[in-house]
């Protein structure tokens, strides 16, 4: 399976390496660095070296490279690498080079438990936190004085059961189950406002605080919307295939129950519009006018709106006025940032003013694009709705809550 793991920073330096089955020289990463230099924006996830396979992901400015010496299912390794990053984020609140260096001891302890001889062993956060206590200042001082480690002296109770993702003997005074249905809209809108590409990446995150060993069943009003799905290992896949309901014994605490993909453009509604006008007034000046408004939000408020206008290199400066929010123009990166905030339907946000060009610039090839960010609470833009949640195996009645959130993913408008 996985022989070694290397973590590389943005400069191409290996700042952490971990070996399970055999020690592999870090020079193997040269194959990855060569692919990165040739095409930084499209690095192959699987690179075949003469005697090894390099499987990699990039997250948060760092790259994780798993080295295997025989053919393995690449998606299995990629999923494991993402789980490693998720675990670091859960333990340390973020996963960056500086944070990993500050917590080297805990990082190596986690990697020791997550893989056994190169095969995944304990990857659930609630199980790992029983094995290895999350770091804090008092525990670090106590370990320094006593010479102890964060590793528990006993196995988690869940490791000895047929449900390894859930610890046994869980007890809560308030039994609660919360589900967050989050959808990210990826879209490209052309100059005329027509949709070129639109799809939805969605996921359901859970926070389960239930006593005992509950068996849950979650059903949807319109499960036919899903084009592609992936599940947490706790989900009974045969039940989903037969009835399109999620039947599972949940882990304790926070976890991602499922991810899904919707690529049918007839279903994907575009929640906001951007009305834009970019015209050339004279040889070295132009005029920019942008208005943002809600489109298909079912009366929900559009919040956290931010626009990034990617200007061409010939733009020297922008002198603009806005009736809402703040803007700034970076003359180095040529990006205009406009932090709009919440959209008020009675007075739509607008920004307009003068744009200066470099002398001799070809104004016919000036085509800015706009990256849009937004959040809409209590709305799943696909129309997905949770029908009901039933619980079996326990006698108490839990409190249940569902929250819907729509966000902008890669949402671009071409001007």
Give the per-residue pLDDT at 128. 84
CA distance 6 to 33: 12
Query: Please, which pLDDT band fits residue 321 given cuts at 50, 70 and 90?
Result: very high
- Average pLDDT of 310-325? 88
Q: CA–CA distance from 99 to each of 11, 143, 342, 376 (Å)?
A: 17, 19, 33, 32
Query: Please, which pLDDT band fits residue 60 given cuts at 50, 70 and 90?
Result: confident
CA angle (220, 222, 223) in 5-degree steps: 70
- Write down the number of H helices and E strands in the chain: 7, 23
Give the per-residue pLDDT at 359. 76
- The answer to which of 40-44, 357-361, 393-397 has the lowest mean pLDDT is 357-361
Question: How many CA atoms are closer than 13 Å to the CA of 389, on its beta-carbon side?
Answer: 20
| Domains, the chain, ordered by start | 2-160 (3.30.450.60), 176-268+379-414 (2.60.40.1170), 272-377 (2.60.40.1170)
The pair of structure tokens assigned to 146 is: 């006593």
Give the per-residue pLDDT at 215. 94
pTM above 0.85, yes or no: no
Give the per-residue pLDDT at 355. 87
What pLDDT, in 10s, does the model give residues 83-107?
Answer: 999 999 989 989 999 999 998 989 9
Q: CA–CA distance from 238 to each of 69, 163, 368 (Å)?
A: 33, 17, 49
- Report the relative pairing of strands 115-116 and 302-310 from DSSP bridges: unpaired
Residue pointed to by tokens 């000036």: 366
74-92 helix and 104-114 helix, angle to the nearest 10 degrees: 140
- Average pLDDT of 388-406? 93
CA distance 163 to 250: 9
CA distance 172 to 170: 7
User: DSSP string spanning 269-322?
Assistant: ---EEEEEEEEE-SSSEEEEEEEEEE-S-TTPPEEEEEEEEE--TTEEEEEEEE
CA distance 183 to 300: 15
CA distance 156 to 159: 6
Q: Is 142 helix (H, G, I), strand (E, B) or coil?
A: helix
Is the backbone of residue 253 left (phi > 0), alpha (psi -120 to 50) or beta? left
What pLDDT, in 10s, does the model give residues 105-152?
Answer: 899 999 998 999 888 888 888 788 878 888 776 555 555 556 566 666
- Average pLDDT of 388-394? 92
Please give the residue that has the higher pLDDT: either 171 or 265.
Answer: 171
- The answer to which of 165-179, 224-238, 272-286, 307-321 has the lowest mean pLDDT is 272-286
Q: Residues 6 or more apart from 230 whose CB is under 8 A from it?
A: 258, 259, 260
Q: CA–CA distance from 154 to each of 132, 133, 134, 232 (Å)?
A: 10, 12, 16, 26
| DSSP structure class, residue 194 | -
Please give the residue that has the higher pLDDT: either 338 or 227.
Answer: 338
Give the per-residue pLDDT at 168. 75
Cβ–Cβ < 8 Å for 188, 196: yes
Q: How much of the chain, in percent, has pLDDT values that exceed 70?
A: 92
Give the per-residue pLDDT at 257. 94
For 396, counting Cβ atoms within 10 Å of its Cβ (0-12 exposed, 13-18 middle, 19+ buried), the class is: exposed
Give the Cβ contact number of residue 293 at 10 Å.
15
CA–chain centroid gap for 182, Å, is 11
Give the per-residue pLDDT at 147. 59
Give the per-residue pLDDT at 45. 94
Cβ–Cβ < 8 Å for 56, 33: no
pLDDT at 277 over 90: no
Give the per-residue pLDDT at 392. 92
Give the per-residue pLDDT at 244. 92
For 334, counting Cβ atoms within 10 Å of its Cβ (0-12 exposed, 13-18 middle, 19+ buried), the class is: middle
Give the per-residue pLDDT at 284. 73
CA distance 397 to 392: 10
pLDDT at 292 over 70: yes
CA distance 373 to 413: 11
């Amino acid at each position: 399976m996985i022989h070694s793991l290397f973590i590389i920073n943005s400069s191409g330096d290996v700042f952490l390496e971990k070996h399970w089955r055999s020690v592999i020289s870090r020079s193997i990463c040269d194959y990855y660095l060569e692919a990165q230099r040739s095409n930084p924006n499209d690095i192959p996830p699987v690179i075949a070296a003469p005697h090894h396979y390099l499987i990699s992901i990039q997250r948060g400015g760092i790259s994780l490279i798993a080295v295997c010496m025989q053919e393995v299912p690449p998606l299995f390794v990629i999923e494991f690498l993402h789980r490693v990053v998720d675990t670091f984020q859960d333990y340390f609140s973020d996963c960056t080079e500086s944070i990993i260096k500050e917590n080297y001891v805990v990082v190596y302890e986690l990697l020791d438990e997550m893989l056994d001889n190169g095969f995944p062993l304990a990857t659930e956060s609630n199980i790992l936190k029983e094995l290895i206590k999350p770091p804090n200042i008092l525990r670090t001082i106590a370990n320094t004085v006593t010479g102890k480690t964060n590793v528990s002296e006993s196995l988690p109770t869940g490791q000895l059961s047929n449900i390894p993702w859930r610890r046994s003997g869980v007890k809560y005074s308030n039994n609660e189950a919360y589900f967050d249905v989050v959808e990210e809209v990826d879209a490209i809108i052309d100059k005329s406002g027509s949709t070129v590409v639109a799809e939805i990446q969605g996921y359901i995150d859970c926070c389960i605080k239930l006593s005992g060993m509950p068996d849950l069943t979650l059903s949807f009003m319109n499960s036919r919307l899903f084009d592609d799905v992936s599940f947490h290992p706790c989900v009974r896949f045969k039940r989903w295939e037969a009835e399109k309901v999620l039947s599972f014994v949940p882990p304790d605490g926070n976890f991602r129950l499922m991810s899904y993909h919707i690529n049918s453009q007839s279903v994907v509604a575009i929640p906001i519009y951007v009305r834009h006008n970019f015209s050339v007034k004279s040889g070295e000046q132009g005029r920019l006018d942008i208005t943002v408004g809600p489109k298909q939000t079912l009366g929900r408020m559009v919040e956290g709106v931010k626009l990034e206008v990617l200007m061409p290199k010939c733009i020297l400066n922008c002198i603009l006025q806005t009736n809402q929010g703040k803007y700034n123009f970076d003359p180095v990166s040529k990006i205009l940032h406009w932090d709009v905030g919440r959209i008020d339907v009675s007075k739509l946000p607008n920004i307009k003013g003068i744009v200066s060009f470099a002398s001799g610039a070809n104004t016919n090839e000036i085509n800015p694009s706009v990256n849009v960010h937004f959040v809409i609470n209590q709305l799943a833009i696909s129309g997905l709705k949770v029908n009901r949640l039933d619980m079996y195996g326990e006698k108490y009645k839990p409190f249940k809550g569902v929250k819907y959130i729509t966000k902008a993913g890669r949402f671009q408008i071409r001007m």
